[in-house]
Structure 1
Amino acid sequence: MELIQDTPDLSAYLAADEVIDHDHPVVREAAARLAGCAQDSYDYARSAFEFVRDTIPHSADSGDPRVTWRASDVLERRTGICFAKAHALAALLRAEDIPTAFCYQRLAHDDGSGHVLHGLVAVRFDGSWHRQDPRGNRAGVDARFSLDGERLAWTPEPASGERDHPVLYAEPHPVVLKVLRAAPDRPHLWKTLPADL
């Protein structure tokens, strides 16, 4: 699948805003701590990915009812669903000048009762984009940081209506932000998650 930037302006994939607030002290402190142990930008990107994947539980896995969407809140509260964790990883990567995009998959619910949108990121190294999924591993999920072939949590199965969206967004998609901001808790969020873009 060919990945398509939603804007030709690469600086848009480094920008800070209300959601990807990589200028926030919480984000800056985490980025500085990770960068202090990294040998280069590749090592930093892998470390940031593993930090978000492994130390911030996916709220559905942990049973945490809180809904986070701003990167600094995800890092501070240590909880979030896939979209929120993607926001946190993007902020950490952009804080160290690594272009990072948002991308999405349409996946089937585990029980087969329809579809749900899944969020991940893409990082740019050596002139190419590489998708990464910091969702968090569990039984049946083994996502890993990779610049040499994708190691995502899931591979869509077109026969069941699943698909990858090829567009790389410079900002989180408005459909995603709307449901995250409106949800008082995760049980409510689960009922309002978008099935697609």
Structure 2
Amino acid sequence: MELIQCEPEMSAYLVADDVIDHEHAVVRGIARRLRSATSDAYSYAEAAFTHVRDTIPHSADSGDPRVTWRASDVLEQRTGICFAKAHALAALLRAGGIPAALCYQKLDTAHGLIALKLPGERRWVRQDPRGNKPGVDAQFRLDREQLAWPVRPELGEADYPWLFAEPHPAVLRCLQEAVDRPRLWQLLPTALEMPEACRQA
């Protein structure tokens, strides 16, 4: 599948905003610690991925009722669903100077992950920091994708090819409106409409 940038300028995938707030002290502190333990962009990206995948439990797996959406909160509170964990990983990657995009799949509900572009690489590569459990084995790979959920087209599942610099509005809205995770489960979109700007990209 060819991944499509919604934003023509690579700089859009390095921006700090209210969600991917990589100028926040919490994000900067973790990024600094990861950089000190790694030697290059690849090892930093892999360490950031592993940190988010393994040290921040997916709230559905842990039973945590809290809903997070801002990257610094996800990293500080150590909880979040797939979308929130994608925001956290994007923030750590951007803090390390690595372009990171948000992308999505259509499963039983929409599912969030990221794509990154390492220096010298010509293509974006998707990574899924959702968190592993029995039956889920997402790994950091550049040679091929190893995501949490390979799509099953026969069940109506699909990969969305668009790369977002900011969260999809429907995703962010449900995260911000949910008072707890049970309510969030009621609000999650089953599919995502693509903004016109992405359709024209």
Please give the secondary structure, in 1, of the residue aligned with 2:109. Answer: strand
Alpha-carbon distance in structure 1 between the residues aligned to 2:149 and 2:21? 28
The aligned residue for residue 122 of structure 1 is 115
Larger strand share, 1 or 2: 1
CA-based RMSD of the aligned residues comes to 0.5
Q: Number of aligned pairs?
A: 190
The aligned residue for residue 170 of structure 2 is 175
Please give the secondary structure, in 1, of the residue aligned with 2:53. Answer: helix
Name the % identity.
66
The alpha-carbon deviation at position 39 of structure 1 amounts to 1.1
Please give the secondary structure, in 2, of the residue aligned with 1:22. Answer: coil
TM-score using structure 1 length: 0.96
Alpha-carbon distance in structure 2 between the residues aligned to 1:183 and 1:117? 16
1:154 aligns with 2:115: no
The aligned runs of 1:70-149 (5 Å cut-off) are 70-107=70-107, 115-125=108-118, 126-149=121-144
Please give the secondary structure, in 1, of the residue aligned with 2:103. Answer: strand
Alpha-carbon distance in structure 1 between the residues aligned to 2:7 and 2:84? 22
The alpha-carbon deviation at position 84 of structure 1 amounts to 0.2
- Per-residue CA deviations over 1:102-146 (Å, capped at 9, x if unaligned) read 000001xxxxxxx20000000002121000000000010000001
Alpha-carbon distance in structure 1 between the residues aligned to 2:122 and 2:9? 14
* Runs of 5+ unmatched residues, structure 2: 193-201
Given residue 97 of structure 1, which amino acid in structure 2 is its aligned partner? G
Given residue 30 of structure 1, which amino acid in structure 2 is its aligned partner? I
Alpha-carbon distance in structure 2 between the residues aligned to 1:127 and 1:14? 17
Superposed structure 1 runs of 4+ greater than 6 Å apart:
none
Please give the secondary structure, in 2, of the residue aligned with 1:31. Answer: helix
TM-score using structure 2 length: 0.94
